[in-house]
């Protein structure tokens, strides 16, 4: 019962805070953020304010909040949330650019030039997600099994086994499509997997 009373008091304090800061923070963010991001950043700001309700200076224990005391601190929270959103958007844009550059990157293992990109992409899509990731880390990123193991969180031995089986599956799928011409593409024993 006591816990429920504390919860109601906390909710009432938060509602009082939101009543005072929501509109000023919204105006603040509208002037600084992209229009499509304003509501998301405001929501993130409110979440932080809820989590750190006890830290809001001047809020006290009552059901009212003095704008002069709470707003400066809340602007600081909004500013931090906006900076986080900008960093996240920058990371997202860099990832999209990187994916756009690598989507059509040539596959660089022996025999890959003998098959069409569409056929290879189709065969890769039919592999399991982990098998596909292992092969792409090996072929496109040039990682050795121990490096792949670190990237996906397993052992080098498990990666070697998975890579061998995935290559074999890929070869079988491509042979069905192209006949025997893709048989030499597995590249077992090539320098790339020995690093």
Note whether 139 and 131 are within 8 A (CB): no
The answer to whether the CB of 61 falls within 8 A of the CB of 44 is: no
Candidates 172, 176, 99, 163; CA nearest to 136 is 163
Which is more confident, 78 or 137?
78
What does the alpha-carbon distance between residue 168 and residue 164 come to, in Å, rounded to a whole number?
6
Q: What is the DSSP letter of 23?
A: H
99 Rama class: left (phi>0) / alpha (psi -120 to 50) / beta: alpha
Give the pLDDT confidence score for residue 188 in this predicted structure: 43
pLDDT band per the 50, 70, 90 thresholds, residue 91: confident
More confident residue, 177 or 136: 136
Written as one string, the DSSP assignment of 87-132 is: HHHHHHHHHHHHHHHHHTPPP-STTGGGS-HHHHHHHHHHS-HHHH
Nearest residue to 120 via CA among 165, 187, 185, 188: 185
Mean pLDDT along residues 29-54: 94
Confidence of residue 112 (pLDDT cuts 50, 70, 90): very low
């Amino acid at each position: 019962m006591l816990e429920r009373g504390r919860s109601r008091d906390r909710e009432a304090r938060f509602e009082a805070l939101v009543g005072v800061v929501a509109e000023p923070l919204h105006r603040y963010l509208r002037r600084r953020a992209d229009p499509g991001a304003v509501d998301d950043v405001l929501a993130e700001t409110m979440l932080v304010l809820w989590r750190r309700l006890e830290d809001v200076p001047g809020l006290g224990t009552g059901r009212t909040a003095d704008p002069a005391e709470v707003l400066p601190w809340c602007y600081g929270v909004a500013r931090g949330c906006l900076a986080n959103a900008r960093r996240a958007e920058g990371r997202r844009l860099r990832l999209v650019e990187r994916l756009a550059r690598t989507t059509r990157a040539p596959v660089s293992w022996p025999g890959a030039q003998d098959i069409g990109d569409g056929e290879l992409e189709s065969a890769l899509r039919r592999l399991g997600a982990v098998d596909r990731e292992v092969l792409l880390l090996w072929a496109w990123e040039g990682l050795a099994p121990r490096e792949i193991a670190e990237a996906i969180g397993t052992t080098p031995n498990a990666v070697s086994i998975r890579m061998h089986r995935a290559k074999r599956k890929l070869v079988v799928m491509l042979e069905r499509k192209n006949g025997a011409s893709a048989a030499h593409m597995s590249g077992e024993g090539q320098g790339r997997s020995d690093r």
